[in-house]
Amino acid sequence: MPLDPADGYPYTPPQIAIAAGNEKKQAHQYAVNIDIAMRQHYAENLKNLAKTLYPMMYAEATFSGGRYTFSVDEHTTYVCQETNPVYTQLKAIAHIPLGIYSIIFPYAEFPDNQQWIEPLRGFANQVNSVLERLDLLDIVEPAKAASRRILSSSHAFMSSIITSGSFVMQQYEDFCHSIGEDILINQTAAAEDQVNGMRAYLLDWKAMVGDAVWDRMYVVCQCIWTVSQESAHEQIIKSTMKPEFHDTHVIASEAVPTLEAARLLLARILADRVLAAAVFDKEARPEFAQNIYSLSTQRDLLSKSIEAVLGGGTVRSLCPFGYA
């Protein structure tokens, strides 16, 4: 039945609007408010701290090999970017098997409907265009011969399965294995090109600012998870640093798409390290030393407690206020 305005409106229980709740619920909110206030002050502190962290280097992964931003102080910043096209060319050619895989693999269970043929034909034409113009590129031997073999073998494989109208993954694996040595040659040549180009900039900067400044430098490397362990840029930069700073002064993270984000992450890491040493006395209890390590690294502060709970052992509280 439609509502009649003359009757007013159906009764709404007042409890619905009592958002603060009873005494117990309000007591809980008082506790929550402490954490909300902490986070607000914490965020503001990090924002301010991030503006003061020098010297700092931000390493970005780019399609052309990488870009480094070295902030010596608030007035001095240097930027270098890999500009040698050979690195890009070698990487692109070595990635051809990945391109083929991405087109055909979704149809590997039943390829006979041939939805993959036209995309693969287009990719084959792109590969052939590079093969026809390989001599115009600046790739030198032995990578040039390896690149020619990758290009010609890839085009032949794609032409073969396009003509047959079907494929099995064993064919793809056999093709990849046949050019494995050539891919390795291109890998090595690309690595040499990247190291020689980027490391030269770093050594110039290091000579310019001196060892004392370089030793104080923190580095944030932007990298996706799949290359976050021993990434190329991390290794190149570490090669110019003293070994004792490798674990403490170089941070690899996927959550730093910009220089500003990298500064904020570094501020959080360094602030937490200072906090950890101030809050916990590592000489008092072994758990406090573990807490300092956790707050200073990627390890979760509760990790050891969680480990004890999952392992069924006795949980020794790691919280200074006695909570597990």
- The CA R_g of the chain, rounded to the nearest whole Å, is 29
- Residue type for 241, please? M
At residue 65, does pLDDT exceed 50?
yes
Q: How far is CA 324 from the centre of its chain?
A: 32
pLDDT band (50, 70, 90) for residue 264: very high
Q: How far apart are CA 189 and CA 146, in angstroms?
A: 10
Q: How far is CA 111 from the centre of its chain?
A: 35
Q: How far apart are CA 65 and CA 76, in angstroms?
A: 24
Closest CA to 198 of 62, 94, 92: 62
Specify whether the CB–CB gap between 90 and 186 falls below 8 A: yes
Specify whether the CB–CB gap between 66 and 82 falls below 8 A: yes
- Tell me the pairing of strands 76-81 and 67-73: antiparallel
Q: Which range among 54-63, 119-128, 139-148 shows the weakest confidence by mean pLDDT?
A: 54-63
At residue 318, does pLDDT exceed 80?
no
Compute the average pLDDT of residues 259-279.
93
At residue 312, does pLDDT exceed 60?
yes
Percentage of the residues of the chain whose pLDDT score is greater than 90: 70
For the chain, the 3-state helix, strand and coil shares in percent, each to the nearest 5, are 65, 10, 30
Q: In this structure, what token pair is assigned to residue 182?
A: 């050539």
Q: How far apart are CA 254 and CA 228, in angstroms?
A: 8
Q: What is the DSSP string of 275-295?
A: HHHHH--TTT-HHHHHHHHHH
Specify whether the CB–CB gap between 47 and 29 falls below 8 A: no
